[in-house]
């Protein structure tokens, strides 16, 4: 049998079983054949399961498989909006403590002087801006106009913003000032301008998901996080660029840039939220993470980010990519800002069956004297420079390794007791990536079948169109087996941590980023230095136990209080 014939029969078999309209029906139509399963097609498809059936087995299956195929075709005739979830939920292995405590409120600080320049004001933390508004050193309207002007000035180069919500922002700022004048203070965020990753629905404005097929989409629902920040009095000034359908930093408007090095992308997929926060286009932003989409752009752009415990923030009104992995979290210029925003958006939501309430009581930087903080020696000791292809890459890796190890010295100097931690190593973590492949392909099943994947900007091996097609061929049995192994991973993770509440890891150490996105543990990523070659930032990640978001924020805040990397500014031009 020729290799061309083998490939043709494989494609015919796989596409019949997947029901793919894009290439399966077209292939069968060209061949003049009916999409009917035969014993021979079953035999050719057996490799997917890793099993071999007898001819008698195949005959027994035949009728039911064809019935199943017909049923699947009927299911696919129904149009399913991305907002429709599957009829199951995932819970972290440890339930949240109860009852839920009050959210964090910023304590009143000493009198704050208004910064000398508009640049200094724009780069102030949200906590500082809150004090300035509270002490009448600036109005929300002034601040909002400042950030709107910076978007117009700097975004043409950065491509961090998809939609400017100017009218909405100016009205909200005027309302915030009027309320404060009457003595009504909604929260520490009252009057602070912010931006939403353009996966987050805001009625009356486009929610493009960064993707060509959806670039004119206007969603009818209001995301719960938007409603909660409105209730807190925050002022939405922009919807930020997102790597197309939440991958990378490339969207239909171009590539979002890193403000520290504008010939480099910002990374993603919370590309615009991190880039715009770094460039002080707004006071803070919201991002999402499924597998690195907060950690990665925060690292590249030198800002702080919180990936909360899975389920702590409602995803209602936010594009679904993976129901069991997606998380929303804040991106800001300081850890205290992360806590302020998280306090406003966290909590259970009836509109999101995956969300849960848990205590949150952030009280500022923790005293690390005598605190036991874990670290993963193998990640800190690994020579990440050995795979470098150029002298520049080698120096970059060496700089980052030095910066990571210096974090441990800072923690020791603050009185922490560093405790070695061994991560789960016997389970095939990388193999569990098929969970994301299968769920993402399901979220965008209708897009794949519409034939419009070819409209997407990136058409490479390492892009969604290719992954969505692959996901059509992941068997349900394999997906569910991976979910069962995921349960073991969650259990092993709890054993690995023992009685530790927090630990620290290099942001890209081993399989840790995928592992903890699967287990649902909270992460706080903060800048920890710069590369000597090009001056771009590096980062470190502080991890917490499930539901211990406030504790890991407090530890990260203590590290940040002892360093000044988060106060550095990118060399903007505009």
Catalytic site positions: 197, 269, 293
Cα(10)–Cα(450) distance, rounded to whole angstroms?
Answer: 22
Angle between helices 271-278 and 140-158 (to 10 degrees): 120
Whole-number Cα distances in Å, 375 to 4, 239, 477, 501: 52, 37, 36, 12
Pairing of strands 161-164, 193-197: unpaired
What the block records as the tokens of 85 is 């979830």
Residue with tokens 């991973």, as numbered in its chain: 489
Measured from the Cβ of residue 567, the count of other Cβ atoms closer than 10 Å reads: 12
Among 493, 489, 501, which Cα is nearest to 419's? 501
> Up-side HSE of residue 533: CA atoms within 13 Å toward CB?
12
Which residues, 6+ apart, have CB-to-CB distance to 254 below 8 Å? Answer: 159
What's the distance, CA 447 to chain centroid? 22
Collapsing DSSP states into helix, strand and coil, what is residue 147?
helix
Long-range interactions of 469-473: CB distance < 8 A, separation 24+: 469/20, 469/22, 469/23, 469/441, 470/437, 470/441, 471/437, 471/438, 471/440, 471/441, 471/442, 472/18, 472/19, 472/20, 472/441, 472/445, 472/448, 473/14, 473/18, 473/48
Sign, CA dihedral 57-62-64-65, equals positive
Among 242, 218, 280, which Cα is nearest to 159's? 242
Residue with tokens 């302020």, as numbered in its chain: 340
Cβ atoms of 443 and 437 within 8 Å: the answer is no
Cβ atoms of 304 and 524 within 8 Å: the answer is yes
Which residues, 6+ apart, have CB-to-CB distance to 183 below 8 Å? Answer: none
Cα(482)–Cα(155) distance, rounded to whole angstroms?
Answer: 42
Helix (H) or strand (E) holding 300: helix 295-301
Phi and psi dihedrals of 348, rounded to 5? Answer: -65, 155
Sign, CA dihedral 164-237-285-358, equals negative
In DSSP notation, 57-110 reads HHHHHHHHHHHHHHHHHHHHTS---TT---S-----SSPPPSSPPPPP-PPP-S
């Amino acid at each position: 049998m020729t290799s061309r014939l083998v490939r043709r029969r494989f494609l015919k078999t796989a596409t019949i079983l997947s029901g793919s309209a894009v290439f399966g029906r077209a292939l069968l139509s060209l061949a003049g054949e009916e999409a009917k399963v035969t014993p021979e097609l079953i035999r050719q498809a057996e490799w997917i399961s890793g099993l071999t059936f007898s001819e008698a087995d195949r005959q027994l299956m035949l009728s039911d498989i064809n019935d199943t195929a017909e049923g699947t075709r009927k299911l696919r005739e129904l149009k399913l909006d991305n907002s429709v979830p599957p009829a199951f939920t995932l819970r972290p292995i440890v339930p949240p403590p109860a009852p839920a405590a009050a959210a964090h409120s910023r304590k009143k600080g000493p009198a704050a002087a208004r910064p000398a320049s508009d640049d200094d004001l724009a780069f102030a933390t949200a906590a500082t801006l809150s004090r300035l508004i509270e002490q009448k050193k600036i109005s929300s309207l002034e601040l909002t106009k400042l950030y709107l002007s910076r978007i117009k000035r700097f975004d043409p180069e950065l491509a961090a913003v998809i939609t400017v919500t100017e009218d909405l922002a100016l009205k909200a700022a005027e309302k915030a000032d009027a309320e404060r004048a009457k003595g009504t203070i909604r929260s520490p965020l009252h009057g602070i301008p912010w931006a939403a990753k353009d996966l987050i629905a805001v009625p009356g404005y486009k929610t493009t998901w960064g993707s060509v097929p959806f670039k004119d989409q206007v969603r009818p629902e209001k995301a719960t996080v938007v409603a909660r920040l409105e209730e807190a009095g925050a002022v939405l000034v922009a919807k930020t660029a997102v790597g197309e359908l939440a991958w990378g930093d490339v969207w239909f408007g171009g590539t979002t840039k890193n403000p520290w090095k504008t010939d480099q992308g910002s990374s993603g997929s919370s590309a615009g939220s991190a880039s715009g926060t770094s460039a002080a286009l707004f006071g803070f932003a919201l991002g999402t993470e499924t597998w690195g989409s907060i950690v990665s752009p925060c690292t590249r752009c030198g800002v702080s980010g919180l990936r909360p415990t899975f389920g702590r923030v409602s995803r209602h009104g936010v594009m679904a990519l993976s129901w069991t992995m997606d998380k929303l979290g804040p991106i800001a210029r300081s850890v205290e800002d992360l806590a302020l925003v998280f306090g406003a958006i966290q909590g259970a939501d009836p509109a999101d069956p995956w969300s849960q309430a848990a205590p949150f009581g952030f009280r500022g930087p923790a005293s690390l004297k005598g605190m036991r903080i874990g670290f993963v020696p193998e990640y800190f000791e690994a020579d990440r420079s050995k795979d470098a292809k150029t002298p520049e890459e080698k120096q970059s890796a060496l700089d980052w390794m030095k910066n990571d190890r210096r974090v441990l010295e800072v923690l020791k100097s603050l009185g922490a007791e560093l405790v070695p931690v061994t991560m789960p190593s016997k389970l095939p973590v990388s193999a569990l990536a098929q969970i994301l492949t299968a769920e993402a392909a399901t979220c965008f099943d209708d897009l794949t079948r519409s034939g419009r994947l070819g409209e997407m900007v990136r058409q490479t091996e390492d892009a969604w169109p290719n992954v969505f097609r692959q996901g059509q061929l992941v068997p349900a049995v394999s997906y569910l087996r991976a979910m069962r192994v995921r349960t073991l991973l969650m259990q092993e993770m709890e054993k690995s941590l023992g009685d530790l509440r927090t630990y620290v890891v290099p942001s890209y150490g081993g399989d840790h980023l995928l592992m903890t996105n699967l287990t649902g543990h909270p992460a706080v990523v903060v800048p920890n230095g710069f590369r000597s070659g090009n001056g771009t930032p590096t980062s470190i990640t502080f991890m917490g136990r499930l539901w211990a978001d406030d504790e890991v924020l407090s530890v990260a805040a203590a590290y940040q209080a002892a360093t000044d990397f988060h106060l550095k500014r990118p060399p903007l031009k505009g």
